[in-house]
């Protein structure tokens, strides 16, 4: 028989993604039986969508706002009966379900989260910190977790379950997916329990909560969830009690949040009486890699002696092939909802401050740049203008040089000339043709032989001119090559690969274009807006091969090495997340659906890994340059690998 084709959910989980959900159900206050029915229905629906962890709010079986009714035997009995109903109703559900109820243990009442799975209660986690001020007075009814004596509670004569704050729940089919629980106020304290839980191995923190809503509290709550997920290098699932709670003195909004390592993956609508759900796919391998790389995390000793409860589940039948998390085809480019002006100004400040510091340190009389009329040199020039201002130097100290060669087009040369003129920058024009022809004669190379020697000789001649001009004028040569070129080795060794300061070293190609487009619309709109827009639209080329007979380009970079938008995507997920080729391919097919076919993605992904592995020697000898984002390839800090690596990065 042919092998069974894996389901969409199995493929997703094979790449380490676990689907989680936070739910604020439409509760019936004080009616646990009805609440169990509502939650069971929602849990089965979510499990059918591939959710492996489903979190309901604090005390959700009864409702959080029952007050002194928590001390009545009737409500407590109904809560335990409702728990049994929920366990039975979800017995075939391949998911961990977290719900809340009051639980009487040895004469003390505890506010607990019950973790259910496979038709049984896997464990209870009591609340550690009980708020008892302003509108909260939980100590009136509940005891804090530290008053527990026994690590186990008997539910019936035959069935018992562990109870404690040291419980961790491991999902067997997803390596590294370990769930820890804290409740509501636990997050708001000086030392949240989630910290020790994360150090003990929890990669997924869940928080059943019943936070009241006040003016300004939602953004504060969102910040808490985001920041705690970042501190713990974990995912965080927060499920808040909804509008069905009592409004005697306060209102509950049903705020649900899912965060991963500081980023909000999903957020629910607030103030709805209907059940609200937020779903996201958490990248567990990414979290594990972040922890492995963080010395501050891995060097901190675990402070808990934990008990691991392992939950086994079968393959899901979910057909949902989607990925429920933000996934952009351009991970280096700010999100459309971001404050574009603020982001671009921040990037410019990083680049220009770095260059200004180098200009001050070297007491440079000039800052020399090769201005081709292309993307990279244009961005470098704009940054230089800001840098000399920060260094309190006159703009006349910038010396731009355009060096037409065998493949230079009228468009790029014209844009270089117009840009320098519009910005008031000195521009010198030095043709490299005669010097390169003399060099060909010296080394015995035919000008008709358009090979690597033909191309690289031109790149090195340009660099020699710029270096010599920097020496002659008492300045430094500012390099223009970007992060994407460094990753692919798309630069001539000891040619454009070299400078005295690499101002674009931390900026990938897709971000270079974005920044120039912003400059055209923003700070340089009046002086050079039209020129910058034309530069942004110009095909990317090194202009090292002769033009066609009709004076059009013969050489376009992306025809040779592939689209930069793909390579930047590959670079981000490989260097930032450590993803393997199969995972990157799968993510790229989702991100570029309708734009690049799977076979095209596979072709250029193979090129990326091959070029990345082969060109470390260029990165190892690159000049200084500022780190801009979370991905950088400086051999002095962010990326160190042997230049003679002979393995397969794409395996």
Q: Which pLDDT band holds residue 378 (cuts at 50, 70, 90)?
A: very high
CA dihedral 285, 289, 292, 297 (to 10 degrees): -90
Cα 418 to chain centroid, rounded: 39
pLDDT in tens, 175-220: 999 999 999 999 999 999 999 999 999 999 999 999 999 999 999 9
Contact at 8 Å (CB) between 364 and 627?
no
User: Residue 1: pLDDT above 70?
Assistant: no
pLDDT in tens, 249-280: 999 999 999 999 999 999 999 999 999 999 99
User: Residue 158: pLDDT above 80?
Assistant: no
Strands 235-240 and 256-260: antiparallel
Contact at 8 Å (CB) between 374 and 541?
yes
Average pLDDT over residues 332-352: 92
User: Which domains are seen in the chain, by residue range?
Assistant: 8-311 (3.60.110.10), 340-620 (3.40.50.620)
pLDDT averaged over the chain? 94
Classified as helix, coil or strand, 596 is: coil
The residues annotated with a catalytic role in the active site are: 58, 127, 184
Average pLDDT over residues 25-33: 96
Instruction: Report the distance separating Cα 534 and Cα 415, nearest Å.
Output: 8
The vertex-123 CA angle with 147 and 221, nearest 5°, equals 75
Tell me the CA end-to-end span of the chain in Å, nearest whole number: 29
Q: Between 459 and 159, whose confidence is greater?
A: 459
Q: Which of 73-77, 306-310, 505-509 has the lowest mean pLDDT?
A: 306-310
Contact at 8 Å (CB) between 63 and 102?
no
Instruction: Report the distance separating Cα 211 and Cα 236, nearest Å.
Output: 16
Alpha carbons within 13 A on the beta-carbon side of 530: 3
pLDDT in tens, 93-115: 999 999 999 999 999 999 999 99
Instruction: Report the distance separating Cα 308 and Cα 167, nearest Å.
Output: 6
Residue pointed to by tokens 């049994």: 84
pLDDT in tens, 522-567: 999 999 999 999 999 988 877 767 777 776 666 788 889 999 999 9
The residues pairing with 252 across neighbouring beta strands, listed in sequence order, are: 212
pLDDT in tens, 343-365: 999 999 999 999 999 999 999 99
User: Residue 4: pLDDT above 70?
Assistant: no
pLDDT of residue 551: 65
Looking at the chain, the whole-number percentage of residues with pLDDT higher than 90 is 86
Average pLDDT over residues 119-129: 96
Helix, strand, coil shares of the chain, percent, nearest 5, are 40, 15, 40
pLDDT in tens, 224-237: 999 999 999 999 99
Contact at 8 Å (CB) between 256 and 268?
yes
Distance set, CA 450 to CA 457, 547, 559 (Å): 11, 12, 17
pLDDT in tens, 579-611: 999 999 999 999 999 999 999 999 999 999 999
pLDDT of residue 589: 97
Looking at the chain, the whole-number percentage of residues with pLDDT higher than 70 is 97
């Amino acid at each position: 028989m042919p092998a069974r084709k894996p389901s969409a959910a199995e493929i997703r989980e094979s790449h380490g993604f676990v689907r989680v959900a936070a739910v604020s159900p439409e509760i019936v206050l004080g009616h646990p039986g009805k609440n169990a029915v509502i939650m069971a229905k929602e849990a089965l629906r979510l499990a059918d969508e591939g959710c492996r962890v489903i979190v309901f709010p604090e005390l959700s079986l009864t409702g959080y706002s029952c007050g002194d009714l928590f001390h009545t035997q009737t409500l407590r009995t109904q809560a335990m009966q409702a728990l049994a109903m929920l366990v039975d109703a979800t017995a075939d559900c391949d998911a961990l379900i977290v719900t809340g109820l009051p639980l009487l243990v040895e004469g003390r009442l505890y506010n607990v989260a019950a973790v259910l799975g496979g038709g049984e209660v896997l464990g209870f986690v009591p609340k550690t910190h009980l708020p008892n001020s302003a509108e909260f007075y939980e100590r009136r009814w509940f005891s804090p977790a530290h008053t527990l004596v026994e690590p186990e509670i008997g539910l019936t004569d035959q069935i018992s379950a562990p109870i404690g704050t040291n419980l961790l729940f491991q999902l067997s089919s997803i390596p590294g997916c370990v769930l820890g629980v804290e409740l509501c106020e636990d997050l708001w304290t000086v030392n949240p329990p989630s910290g020790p839980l994360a150090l003990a191995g929890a990669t997924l923190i869940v928080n059943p909560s019943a936070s009241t809503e006040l003016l300004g509290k939602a953004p504060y709550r969102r910040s808490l969830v985001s920041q705690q997920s970042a501190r713990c290098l974990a995912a965080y699932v927060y499920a808040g009690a909804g509008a069905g709670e009592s409004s005697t003195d306060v209102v509950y909004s049903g705020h649900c949040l899912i965060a991963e390592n500081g980023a909000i993956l999903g957020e629910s609508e607030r103030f709805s009486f209907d059940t609200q759900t937020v779903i996201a796919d958490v990248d567990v391998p990414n979290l594990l890699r972040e922890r492995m790389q963080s010395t501050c995390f891995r060097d901190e000793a675990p402070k808990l002696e934990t008990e691991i409860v392992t939950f086994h589940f079968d393959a899901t039948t979910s057909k949902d092939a989607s990925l429920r998390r933000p996934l952009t085809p351009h991970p280096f480019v700010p999100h459309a909802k971001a404050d574009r002006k603020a982001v671009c100004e921040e990037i410019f400040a990083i680049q220009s401050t770095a260059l200004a510091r180098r200009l001050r340190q070297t007491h440079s009389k000039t800052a020399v740049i090769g201005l081709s009329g292309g993307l990279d040199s244009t961005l470098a020039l704009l940054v230089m203008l800001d840098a000399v201002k920060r260094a309190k130097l006159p703009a006349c100290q910038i010396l731009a040089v355009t060096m037409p060669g065998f493949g230079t087009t009228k468009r790029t040369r014209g844009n270089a000339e117009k840009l320098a003129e519009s910005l008031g920058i000195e521009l010198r024009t030095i043709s490299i043709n005669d010097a390169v022809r003399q060099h060909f004669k010296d080394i015995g190379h035919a000008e008709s032989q358009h090979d690597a020697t033909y191309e690289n000789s031109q790149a090195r001649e340009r660099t020699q001119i710029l270096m010599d001009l920097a020496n002659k004028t008492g300045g430094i040569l500012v390099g223009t090559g970007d992060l994407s070129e460094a990753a692919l080795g798309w630069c001539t060794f000891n040619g454009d690969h070299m400078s005295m300061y690499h101002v674009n070293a931390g900026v990938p190609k897709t971000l270079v274009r974005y920044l120039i487009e912003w400059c055209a619309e923003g700070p340089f709109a009046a002086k050079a807006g039209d020129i910058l827009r034309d530069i942004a639209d110009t095909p990317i080329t090194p202009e090292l091969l002769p033009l066609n007979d009709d004076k059009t380009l013969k050489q376009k970079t992306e025809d040779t090495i592939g689209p930069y938008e793909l390579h930047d995507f590959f670079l981000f997920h490989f260097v930032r997340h450590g993803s393997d080729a199969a995972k990157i391919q799968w993510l790229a097919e989702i991100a570029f659906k309708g734009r690049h076919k799977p076979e095209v993605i596979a072709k250029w992904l193979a090129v990326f890994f091959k070029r990345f592995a082969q060109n470390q020697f260029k990165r190892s000898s690159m000049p200084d340059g500022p780190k801009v984002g979370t991905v950088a390839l400086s051999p002095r800090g962010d990326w160190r690998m042997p230049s003679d690596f002979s393995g397969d990065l794409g395996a």
